[in-house]
Structure 1
Amino acid sequence: MRTLLNNLWIILAFLIGLESCGMKNKKQGDLSASPDRETYTNPLDVEFGDPFILTDGGGKYFMYGTGGGAKDGFAAYSSNNLVDWEFEGQVYQGNTEESWASKFFWAPEVYKIEDNYYMFFSAQWKVNPTNEEENFMIGVAKSDSPTGPFIEMYDKPVFDPGYPIIDANVYQEDGKYYLYYSRACYKHPVESEVADWAKEKDWYDEIEESWVYGVELKRDFSGVIGEPVLCLRPPVKMDDAQAEWESRSVTKKEINRRWTEGSVIFKHEDIYYMMYSSNYYAGENYAVGYATSKSPLGPFTKASNNPVLELNTHQGGEVTGTGHNNVLFMENGDMYCVYHGRTKESGQERVVFLDKMEIKPDGTLVVHGPTTTPQAMPL
């Protein structure tokens, strides 16, 4: 009997060990953890802000973002199924003697062009003679591998428009490259009815705003061609259909700023869609809308069904701070929205969500999220 009990304990210990090992592998993004499962649940097991997913061909995907285990730079994760992600380590290192960038490394996006990979990112520029608190610029680094190392192409930002800029997004069409970015709110007070309302309530003396611009890029990414064009900005009038959701940072008394940032542009049929994020990126009301145009540089018209992605706590959910999205196009025609958000479990840490999106026959863009219930595997 004693021998039998001992054997049972050995078997039980072995099974517990296997389970523990399996959980550990799954937590670290082991792609073989659940090869036959049919569903996944948000959020994904990646603590990233501003997530961007690169399709590298051959069924391999790479994710980049803000944070995620990187110090003074950016890290990457890889996946074969868009759900289980494996840490690839830091792929770009800033804050070196050779780098123009010192801190505040944000929102990387990586594009494969022929056999090379180009990372556009935001960071604080070392050249700061007036010691500005926000001296953000956009740079570009290059690698022959999606896992780096990415080396800065130039010892300076792509260009200096005379104000701090963040959130680079690049679009290519007919041999031309376009750079989209957000002018930071910093020292950019704007008059509006929302600003007047906040002053009357004695909440804020001024309201600063960020605006999205687009400009043509030189083909070697060493600078821009022509002058930036204003694409999107927060509403001026209180009765504007977009004013309520785009002004929540102010009306909820979070901060004296209104954002239009995190833009991503793509073309569907003959229409250009620009998705963008509004409100305080560190607050509950961060949300996503979109606008459309017949030209890559506008003019853009905001959609009547905005916002298309926002917190769901008012509907009994637990997700807040949804924003800074990107769009993933699948070979079968499906579209996915990748974005960051927060849950009760994640607290202030931003975690990655992946939800299906679509453009309906009438041209309306819809994001089916945020979800925290089982969803069909994307692959």
Structure 2
Amino acid sequence: MITKNLCLSLLIGCWLLLFSTSKAQSNNPLDVAFGDPFVLYDEETDAYYMYGTGGVENGFVAYSSKDLKKWENRGTVYTAQQDKSWGTKDFWAPEVYKRGGKYYLFYSAHWKENPNDELENYRIGIATSTNPTGPFIDLTGRPLFDPGYPIIDGNVYFAEDGRLYLYYSRCCYKNPVQSEIAAWAKQQGMFDEIEESWIYGVELASDFSHVIGEPKLLLRPPVSRDDKQSEWESRSVTSGEVNRRWTEGSYLFKHNNLYYMMYSANHFGGENYAVGYATASHPLGPFEKSATNPILQKNISNGGIVSGTGHNSLLRDKEGKVWCVYHARTTKTGSQRLVFLDELKILPNGQLIVDGPTVKP
């Protein structure tokens, strides 16, 4: 039986039926140095547990909180120093789901089976524990599956009919794409080619043992410069930062029979990292990007101190408020990625709004 902790995607439509006009209270940035943050509320312990990239080499740590403001470091919850480990480095983007009394950790890492010595040999794996603070032990000693190209940022959606869907990002690595942006960058003498990352979706077996069918391409950067999404999704290229365009960090939920996929674009290490969303009538699309994108981005251009806002997840707290959980940087804290929580709202017309980025007064 799926617990309420696993039903975020199933219940989010109920949380957001009413549009709140009050401003969420901010405690940003949190004193948690994570990238790619994910928060689980566990009813059994009546506590929130946060997981993310960073905090320990070749593994993951967790933080816990009773009020989403004060967070306690609970130490290492997963380490590659175990018999079933298949990853060697770059342990990224953990997400934890509870099912049948157990906790399942989905994560990305560099796969040790690398006969061609690829620089980016990332796959997605699963580890399990009977406690939200671990220890998490790998299920099989291998990645969940091998699509033949590097993948990161696994996210799972639990549908009402019992089906499970896995979403992930194909890495930019060795994925050069022809587009008007790529042609423009080459004409400007900036880059010879532009690599891109794309978001895919695929059905997942109910026991997490394998994927079902072939992955389906769901989101990618715009091909045309006239596309309304092209400007904000290409800023890492047009600023001369790097020869890559990203579509990554996906997070899926449902509201009013519409599927929302939130995603991040641009370089995670730069100031232009930002969040947009797309909608569809089916978990595997086709998805249409919102004309209001990006819905979360830097504010340093407008006198603020926050940049690099991205790779979000969602959390419904005990009071029913829905939070967008993401990482960002500030001019006061430097290059370190820190966790932010800002309220997510859905307007009556279905439009998503994130009240952020905010910082504590």
Comparing 225-234 with 343-352, which one deviates more in the overlay?
343-352
Q: Which has the higher contact order (CA 8 A, sep 6+)?
A: 2
Match of 1:301 among 284, 288, 296: 288
Question: Which aligned pairs between 1:65-104 and structure 2 lie closer than 5 A?
Answer: 65-67=52-54, 69-104=55-90
* Cα displacement (A) at 1:294: 0.6
Match of residue 255 from structure 2: 268
* Partner-residue secondary structure (3-state), 2:336: coil
Q: How big is the shift at 1:221? A: 1.3
Listed as ranges, the matches of 1:212-227 within 5 Å are 212-227=199-214
Deviation at 1:175, TM superposition (A): 1.3
Structure 2 Cα separation of the partners of residues 45 and 331 of structure 1: 21
Separation in 1 of the partners of 2:147 and 2:262? 23
Rounded to whole Å, the distance in 1 between the matches of 2:227 and 2:316 is: 32
Q: Which residue of 1 aligns with 2:14?
A: none
Q: How is 1:204-215 mapped onto 2 (pairs within 5 angstroms)? A: 204-215=191-202
How far residue 39 of structure 1 moved from its aligned partner, in angstroms, is 5.3
Give the letter aligned to residue 253 of structure 1.
Answer: G
Asked whether 1:63 is paired with 2:63, we answer no
* Contact persistence 1:334–1:358 (CA under 8 A): no
CA drift of 1:114 comes to 2.1
1:82-231 map, 5 Å: 82-173=68-159, 174-231=161-218
Which of 306, 310, 318 is the equivalent residue of 2:305?
318
TM-score in terms of structure 1 length: 0.87
Cα shift at 1:333: 3.6
Given that residues 92 and 108 in structure 2 are in contact (C-alpha distance below 8 angstroms), is that contact kept between their aligned partners in structure 1?
yes
Deviation (angstroms), 1:98 = 3.1
Mapping of residues 1-12 of structure 1, within 5 Å: none
Task: Judge conservation of contact 2:62–2:77 (CA < 8 Å) in 1.
Answer: yes
Larger Rg: 1
SS in 2 for 1:340: strand
Q: Is the 8 A contact 2:305 2:332 kept in 1?
A: no
Structure 1 CA distance for aligned equivalents of residues 312 and 230 of structure 2:
21
Partner Cα separation in structure 2 for residue 41 and residue 91 of structure 1? 25
Q: Where do 5+ consecutive residues of structure 2 fail to align?
A: 1-23
Match of 1:31 in 2: none
1:30 matched to which residue of 2?
Answer: none
Whether the 8 Å CA contact 1:182–1:261 is kept in 2: the answer is yes
Shift of 1:345: 2.2
Question: Aligned partner of 1:194: which letter?
Answer: I
Q: Which residue number corresponds to residue 20 of structure 2?
A: none
Q: Is the 8 A contact 1:95 1:103 kept in 2?
A: no
Q: Which portions of structure 1, spanning 4 or more consecutive aligned residues, are displaced by more than 6 angstroms?
A: none
Deviation per CA, 1:18-54, whole angstroms, max 9, x where unpaired?
Answer: xxxxxxxxxxxxxxxxxxxx95531011000000000
State the Cα distance separating 1:372 from its structure 2 match. 1.1
After superposition, residues 332-347 of structure 1 pair within 5 angstroms as 332-347=319-334
2:10 is matched with: none
Counterpart of 2:353?
366
The separation in 2 between residues aligned to 1:39 and 1:308, in whole angstroms, is 19
Matching residue of 2:17: none
Structure 1: segments with no counterpart, 5+ residues: 1-37, 375-379
Deviation at 1:373, TM superposition (A): 3.7
Q: CA–CA distance in 2 between the matches of 1:222 and 1:112?
A: 16
What is the Cα deviation at residue 95 of structure 1?
Answer: 4.9
Deviation at 1:59, TM superposition (A): 3.2
Q: Do the aligned residues in 2 keep the contact of 1:95 with 1:101 (CA within 8 Å)?
A: no
For the 8 Å contact 1:40–1:83, the answer to whether it is kept is no
Aligned counterparts of 1:283 and 1:296: Cα–Cα separation in 2: 30
**Distance 1:95-1:231 versus aligned 2 partners, 3 A rule:** farther
Contact 2:171 / 2:196 at 8 angstroms: preserved in 1? yes
Name the CA distance, whole Å, in 2 between partners of 1:81 and 1:298.
36
1:235 equivalent to 2:215? Answer no
Match of 1:25 in 2: none
How many residue pairs match? The answer is 336
Which amino acid in 1 is paired with 2:328? G
3-state SS of paired residue (1:314): helix
Q: Provide the rounded CA distance (Å) in 2 between the counterparts of 1:245 and 1:135.
A: 28
